[in-house]
Chains A and B, each alone.
Chain A
């Protein structure tokens, strides 16, 4: 966290906490500021209700929403008849409608599923039928020549393929931040850096949610806690939910690879996993991954030598032409998987508890639909909520989103504000102007990771070699906090050490 740990929330609206002589803080308290929690918050603030979001991390999208493939799925490969299939399909259309006003990039790249042998080629027909059953009727079987025309980097051994034209690429960071910011400007209060430590019920049925930095009271509790949804549910009195972390490791290739990957390359899924894919990113890079490994530790975000190797080998089987492209970053994410094999969305009207859990790898795609589903459930439970078409105040516009030209390349912006002409991050061409916007946004970036999510500063090919010091210095000056108070991801992650004590002693020892 950049703002020193005062313990206060950053975006509390004055009237959200205190103010009114009510017996509770929030009508709806959402646990978890991932893409699901933020989407639900944004949907709820269409009504004049008090919405709070409590999050253990120091930013939005710090769990499963932080580390995924950023693909906007059509749901063509989901199991027909499941809630996941329905909500992913609905979510895709909602994103098409909402993304422009939210400032979220969507690249309709399409995906090509590659059959690398005859056995896989036979599977394609099954996936085509599966897609049709899920309402994705525009898929198309491809001959080898067509595959190679649409995916020039594909393995020459490819036999045939399946084109899914609407599979798209978005940006999980931008999407989650945008939803959260629109929720915030419409009245939702976000409380970061608060880990829920217990949940109590008062005799009149109100929730008292204990956190490591003070309690909140709420009429309804909405569990969107991702990996920790089972724990929250248990504390709230709903047993039976089990969430197991499934690790996925990714590699990010430099932008030179992007031209070779015009579309998402998918393997033919196995019964176990959707498999390792190759995908362009909205910011012009290429992703390889993810692996899928069930693990025990919900905090284990480490990359492993074997995992990275598997991700790379799997991806190169689809697109061997990427073998020489430089890797600029690696990461691991944990999907919150549930043994049910489908989303768990439950409205316990009597307990005033909502579960939005088990949302594995498709949560980004389905988030807007999940939020609507939750509101539909609340309406059925008799909650007086506004329709999902009630207008929202827009989120403040940003000068840049992934995939757009950088402000420093736009003469009119640089002329209007010289800070757009002072480039700090040289690989990604991030200027002071974009970083300032991130620091002053409705959900202000308070950590270096948060700045990176919003601007890509330090996320390019040099990974901060040239710009780390300059970014730190600018942020420190802009927020008037000492450099030693800047953190990567919140308290306990200081970026730098102490000041040099005696500068005279060193130079010629």
Chain B
């Protein structure tokens, strides 16, 4: 990248990249612990993805009530700034190096930051239409939910008039409702899996109240249209994606590909931080969200895209303790690393390893993604053939984490295998 010599350098104790819930969570907690972090965000408005959400559903964990995303984001920003966090927006981090420097550009110039500890909290994004390899024409009017939210919240615009939403997780369902209330006609919500991904209560609240049809087990076979979307061709399909009924056309001028979040891991890959393909490229972390590179931490939906904002915030607060410990006593070596491995019916587990130094006995929280979707789920951690911890959940779906708390396991030199049991949801 740019030449080092001509670029001013600044020393900071802790640099946080990304002012979403995770980044603000780290920063606010660190500030309370007496460390003054600097948070950089490339957007003009801090707060991450919640800042572009006008719908309620945020803040139960920290603020003890549900509030719209915008309000949640604003309160997190206010809380962080009041705690003494320095926050700079419109700053894009171009490059991160393993020795904890970050090259950043803003309208006022290019700066290289040297940090004692670096926290990546760059969040996640939805997979675009092209990555999903959806056939058909490539007209205007094809969006991700995130884009539609921004158009709506920041620019006061609707994406179109007649909308088909592809995906049925909670974000998709809420987007359908928001657009319906703002004046769009939602022709259908289409889901390729045979089951709804979001919560049942959300289906009632978002779709049924608006009389929006939900087409389960349907795939988009083709997008139609020249200049602008004219419709989508869909069909009921089996698990392999083969149509089992006649395809039909849903006329619309807008298609929104929703959900299917992946980590925004550009900096992780660029810096060469070891990543976990099972999470879609998020970095490998330990229970304190430290990556494989000492002093570089990563948390929030960058490590497990996409869990609710409140969980990203919780990550941030836990990561702050890790950062603080790292600053107080950088690792002296000799610690024990215990891998956490996905077992049967588990797609991914975060953290991917536990690091043990001395005789600390903090309990550990594992975020587990199952595959396939299960009902009446029992998660179990097994160490050296011995069950070590378990938890129950009424249901688990691949796009959301379910959690498992563990006491520090012994022996600590054998891997922990996490497995899930339950009835497949079909």
Indicate which residue in A301, A410, A490, A491 contacts B137 across the interface (CB closer than 8 Å). A301
Pair A484/B128 contact, Cβ less than 8 Å: no
Contact with A along B176-188 (1 / 0, CB 8 A): 0110011110000
Query: For residue A421, which residues in chain B have a CB less than 8 angstroms away from its CB?
Result: 105-110
Q: What's the nearest-Cβ distance from chain B to residue A453, in Å? A: 14
Indicate which residue in B128, B133, B147 contacts A469 across the interface (CB closer than 8 Å). B147
Within 8 A of A (CB), among B125-183: 125-126, 128-131, 133, 135-141, 143-144, 146-147, 150-152, 154-161, 177-178, 181-183
**Nearest 9 CB-CB pairs, A to B?**
A493-B227, A492-B227, A463-B128, A488-B140, A418-B107, A469-B150, A497-B160, A497-B158, A423-B92
Within 8 A of B (CB), among A458-493: 461-466, 468-469, 472-473, 483-484, 487-493
Q: What's the nearest-Cβ distance from chain B to residue A285, in Å? A: 12
Pair B160/A493 contact, Cβ less than 8 Å: no
29 of the cross-chain contacts (CB-CB < 8 Å) are: A302-B138, A303-B135, A303-B136, A327-B133, A408-B94, A409-B105, A411-B109, A414-B109, A421-B108, A423-B92, A429-B94, A461-B266, A463-B129, A464-B128, A465-B147, A468-B143, A468-B147, A468-B150, A469-B151, A487-B140, A489-B227, A492-B227, A494-B227, A497-B157, A497-B158, A497-B161, A500-B158, A501-B182, A506-B54
Query: For residue B7, which residues in chain A have a CB less than 8 angstroms away from its CB?
Result: 411
Alpha-carbon distance A286/B374, docked complex (angstroms):
38
Query: For residue B161, which residues in chain A have a CB less than 8 angstroms away from its CB?
Result: 497-498
Alpha-carbon distance A56/B165, docked complex (angstroms):
33
B205 to chain A: closest residue by CB: A509
Name 9 extra pairs, CB < 8 A, besides A304-B135, A405-B2, A408-B110: A303-B136, A408-B105, A462-B125, A462-B128, A463-B130, A465-B128, A473-B154, A493-B227, A498-B161
Indicate which residue in A302, A326, A427 contacts B136 across the interface (CB closer than 8 Å). A302
The reply to whether the CB of B422 lies closer than 8 angstroms to some CB of chain A is no
The reply to whether the CB of B200 lies closer than 8 angstroms to some CB of chain A is no
Pair B68/A507 contact, Cβ less than 8 Å: yes
Pair B90/A498 contact, Cβ less than 8 Å: no
Within 8 A of A (CB), among B212-245: 221-223, 226-228
- Using CB atoms and an 8 Å cutoff, list the residues of chain B in contact with chain A: 1-3, 6-7, 42, 54-56, 68, 90, 92, 94, 103, 105-110, 125-126, 128-131, 133, 135-141, 143-144, 146-147, 150-152, 154-161, 177-178, 181-184, 221-223, 226-228, 253-254, 264, 266, 269, 277
Query: For residue A97, which residues in chain B have a CB less than 8 angstroms away from its CB?
Result: none
Q: What's the nearest-Cβ distance from chain B to residue A281, in Å? A: 15
Tell whether A465 pairs with B155 under 8 Å between CB atoms, given A305-B133, A409-B110, A414-B105.
no
Q: What's the nearest-Cβ distance from chain B to residue A458, in Å? A: 10
Alpha-carbon distance A77/B410, docked complex (angstroms):
66
Alpha-carbon distance A500/B221, docked complex (angstroms):
30
Within 8 A of B (CB), among A334-364: none
The reply to whether the CB of A422 lies closer than 8 angstroms to some CB of chain B is yes
Query: For residue A492, which residues in chain B have a CB less than 8 angstroms away from its CB?
Result: 226-228
Q: What's the nearest-Cβ distance from chain A to residue B107, in Å? A: 4
Q: How many residues of A contact B (CB 8 A)?
A: 66
Alpha-carbon distance A421/B107, docked complex (angstroms):
4
Pair B2/A328 contact, Cβ less than 8 Å: no
The reply to whether the CB of A495 lies closer than 8 angstroms to some CB of chain B is yes
Contact with B along A197-232 (1 / 0, CB 8 A): 000000000000000000000000000000000000
Query: For residue B92, which residues in chain A have a CB less than 8 angstroms away from its CB?
Result: 408, 423, 426, 429
A423 to chain B: closest residue by CB: B92
Within 8 A of B (CB), among A415-474: 415, 418-419, 421-423, 426-427, 429, 448, 461-466, 468-469, 472-473
A256 to chain B: closest residue by CB: B269
B149 to chain A: closest residue by CB: A469
Query: For residue B107, which residues in chain A have a CB less than 8 angstroms away from its CB?
Result: 414, 418-419, 421-422
Query: For residue A461, which residues in chain B have a CB less than 8 angstroms away from its CB?
Result: 266
Pair A329/B130 contact, Cβ less than 8 Å: yes
A324 to chain B: closest residue by CB: B277
Alpha-carbon distance A415/B2, docked complex (angstroms):
13
Tell whether A463 pairs with B131 under 8 Å between CB atoms, given A409-B94, A421-B105.
yes
A468 to chain B: closest residue by CB: B147
Q: What's the nearest-Cβ distance from chain A to residue B44, in Å? A: 8
Tell whether A328 pairs with B130 under 8 Å between CB atoms, given A497-B161, A498-B157, A500-B158.
yes
Alpha-carbon distance A507/B56, docked complex (angstroms):
8
A329 to chain B: closest residue by CB: B130
Query: For residue A408, which residues in chain B have a CB less than 8 angstroms away from its CB?
Result: 92, 94, 105, 110
